[in-house]
Amino acid sequence: MGNVHPGAPLWLLDALKQTGRYRIFVETGTAQGDTALAAGDRFDTVITMEADPRIAADAHERLSGRKGILPLTGDSRELLPKLMPRLAGPAVFWLAAASRPGADDGDGGPLAAELAAVGASPLPHLVVMPREAGLPDRDALLAALGAGSARDVALVEDRLIAVPRAEAAVWSILIPDGRPEFLLPGHG
């Protein structure tokens, strides 16, 4: 198992549901399934993937029987590109998969491939990830978050959030007290 990141905060899931713009939630790094369960109460469809077969089996057992939650076992670098064309609309992506100890992640680890898959989609997906989940090169991370549908990226309570510019109104729901400072130069 890789580094464990705390799940998506409930306030964020509630705010994203409140926008009414997203009905699909995709998670990489299922762990015990806590985020998938919480998202299942707020989104029509939840797709969660876990690379570690033992962890995935436990999570699958915990999540079985929950309508609208699809747990997948496998590496997000392989699963996500296959999933993207099947999505019926824009999704919220919680990218929390972590590299496993001993894994050769010379390619930037799961996050680089996940961001490439999301960025290649023509749909205006929203991306959220724990701050500590990142590429070694911060500029590459920010460029990847801004790829595909143009997105504005901000750090909000230790989560990087990338909102498609076409959905800029979402910021007023996520941050009711004003817009955040964007991390990409020339954005906002």
β-strands 159-164, 126-130: how paired?
A: antiparallel
**pTM reported for the whole predicted model:** 0.87
Residue 137 lies in a domain: yes
Residue 74 lies in a domain: yes
Strand order in the sheet with 159-164: 69-73, 45-50, 24-28, 91-95, 126-130, 159-164, 151-156
- Token digits of residue 66: 């929950």
How many independent structural domains does the chain possess?
A: 1
Q: What does each of the 188 residues of the chain score in pLDDT, given as a tens digit?
A: 334 446 889 999 999 999 999 999 999 999 999 999 999 999 999 999 999 999 999 999 999 989 999 999 999 999 999 999 999 999 999 998 875 444 445 555 788 889 989 988 989 999 998 876 555 566 777 677 766 668 888 888 888 899 998 898 999 999 988 878 887 654 44
Residue 1 lies in a domain: no
Residue 4 lies in a domain: no
Residue 134 lies in a domain: yes
Residue 186 lies in a domain: no
Residue 3 lies in a domain: no
Q: Which domain holds residue 69?
A: 10-174
CATH number at residue 31: 3.40.50.150
Residue 77 lies in a domain: yes
